[in-house]
């Protein structure tokens, strides 16, 4: 990427880095490609690359900053694309400095090389060329500088090639216009830009909100009278909605500040990222939780992670309790062996029809907690204490060892 292609810069080349608001990138890239083609046509090197991204918010002076410790409360966080632009500012002994746009009484000068100090005379100069000495009605002239002597010259578009070995006025205008465009596109365009939220903050806030209001899915809001979904409550807290905060602190004394739930939120995140891909809900959740920032449209998905994690913990706790209350089952006997054992519990799990009629599927537990299963056409009705049966095979279901019986007698 950027480090590989732009580190070995010669003194002829100029590299600038810009942070472009993400909504401006599609429009800018079209212009960058156009400039690239123009510069290639005239033998002028030009390249650009998307280096990375950065998130910025507004500080107390309403200036954009990437230092989140300085971002004021309620400030939207905005995503910017880091773009590196590389090109040849010098060809041969002369380098292009800038463009003079001629007006009366003062000219407008757009500098490509901002470190070059121009004499004030260029702000009032006439549109004449120092090379051909022809004065005519030119809208623009161009400033070039000798890199050895520092000499400056004002030249017309047709004479530009004499000093830059092929860098035409058209290419020069392309250069200066694109750098102006880059600077302009560093600013957000209007009020409709996308806002971003810190994933860690969304998760820790969701923990606090769910502890108070419970979890309410977005699609269930209309089924619950006068109740906001969890996503909306989380957003109202993050955006510091005055009415919501007043109601929260006045009516719910059990509300815990999300700052105190960061460790719990971290557990939720780590658990989700440790799961296997299911190419569905969990996969989508894992993708969002791998990022540090999220868009509004993903907040509902992220807050659901807390509820999913809690359901899984409840399930594991219940299974642990069942195992503690019921001894672990083992495989009993060998295949073909005839067994006799005392019955502790018999339960019919299901019944189903076969070509021979109705069959029943029983789960039998002996006094030591070992589990047997038996499929038969007999309907058992009554209290039974003893089973005599032949071991058909050893099986396992949901991690539970089962001995499958056949040709049973029960009494």
Delimit the domains of the chain by residue range: 2-88, 93-164, 197-322, 338-410
Q: What kind of fold does domain 338-410 have according to CATH?
A: OB fold (Dihydrolipoamide Acetyltransferase, E2P) (2.40.50)
Q: What is the C-alpha separation between 404 and 397, in angstroms, rounded?
A: 11
Determine the pLDDT at residue 264: 96
Per-residue pLDDT of the chain (411 residues; tens, 9 = 90+): 233 333 444 444 456 788 888 888 888 888 778 777 766 766 666 777 888 899 988 877 777 888 888 887 777 888 888 888 776 545 557 777 888 889 888 888 877 777 788 898 998 899 999 989 887 888 888 888 888 888 999 998 888 777 765 555 555 555 555 665 666 666 665 555 678 999 999 999 999 999 999 998 876 554 444 568 899 999 999 988 889 999 899 989 889 999 999 999 999 999 999 999 888 889 999 999 999 999 888 999 999 999 999 999 998 888 788 777 777 889 999 999 999 999 998 999 998 888 888 999 999 999 888 999 999 999 998 889 999 999 999 999 888 899 999 999 998
Determine the pLDDT at residue 278: 87
Determine the pLDDT at residue 325: 76
Q: What is the C-alpha separation between 213 and 208, in angstroms, rounded?
A: 9
Determine the pLDDT at residue 6: 39
Determine the pLDDT at residue 90: 52
Peptide bond into 105 cis (omega under 30): yes
Crossing angle (nearest 10°) for helices 281-289 and 262-273: 130
């Amino acid at each position: 990427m950027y480090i590989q292609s732009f580190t070995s810069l010669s003194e002829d080349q100029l590299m600038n880095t810009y942070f472009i608001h993400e909504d401006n990138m599609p429009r800018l890239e079209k212009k960058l490609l156009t400039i690239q083609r123009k510069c290639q046509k005239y033998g002028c090197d030009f390249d650009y690359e998307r280096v990375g991204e950065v998130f910025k918010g507004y500080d107390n002076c309403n200036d954009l900053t990437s230092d989140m410790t300085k971002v004021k409360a309620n400030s939207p966080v905005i995503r910017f694309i880091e773009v590196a632009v590389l090109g040849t500012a010098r060809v041969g002994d002369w380098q292009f400095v800038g463009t003079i746009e001629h007006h009366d009484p003062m000219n407008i000068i757009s500098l490509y090389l901002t470190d070059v100090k121009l004499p004030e005379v260029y702000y009032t100069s006439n549109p004449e060329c120092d090379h051909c000495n022809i004065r005519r009605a030119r809208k623009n002239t161009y400033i070039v500088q000798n890199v050895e002597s520092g000499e400056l010259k004002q030249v017309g578009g047709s004479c530009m090639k004499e000093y830059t070995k092929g860098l035409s006025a058209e290419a020069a205008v392309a250069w200066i216009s694109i750098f102006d465009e880059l600077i302009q596109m560093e600013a957000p365009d209007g009020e409709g830009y996308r806002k971003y939220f810190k994933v860690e903050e969304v998760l820790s806030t969701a923990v606090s909100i769910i502890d108070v209001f419970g979890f309410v899915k977005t699609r269930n809001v209309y089924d619950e009278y006068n109740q906001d979904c969890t996503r909306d409550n989380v957003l109202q807290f993050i955006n510091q909605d005055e009415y919501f905060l007043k109601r929260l602190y006045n009516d719910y004394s059990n509300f815990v500040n999300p700052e105190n739930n960061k460790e719990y939120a971290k557990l939720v995140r780590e658990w989700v990222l440790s799961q296997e891909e299911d190419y569905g809900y969990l996969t989508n959740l894992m993708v969002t939780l791998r990022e540090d920032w999220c868009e509004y449209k993903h907040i509902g998905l992220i807050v659901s992670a807390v509820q999913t994690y809690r359901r899984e913990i409840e399930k594991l706790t219940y299974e642990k309790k069942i195992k503690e209350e019921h001894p672990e089952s083992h495989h009993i006997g060998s295949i073909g062996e005839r067994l006799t054992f005392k019955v502790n519990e018999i339960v019919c799990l299901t019944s189903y029809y076969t070509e021979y009629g109705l069959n029943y599927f029983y789960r039998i537990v002996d006094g030591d907690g070992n589990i047997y299963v038996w499929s038969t056409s007999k309907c058992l009705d009554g209290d039974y204490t003893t089973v005599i049966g032949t071991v058909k095979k050893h099986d396992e279901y949901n991690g539970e060892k089962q001995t499958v019986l056949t040709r049973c007698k029960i009494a």
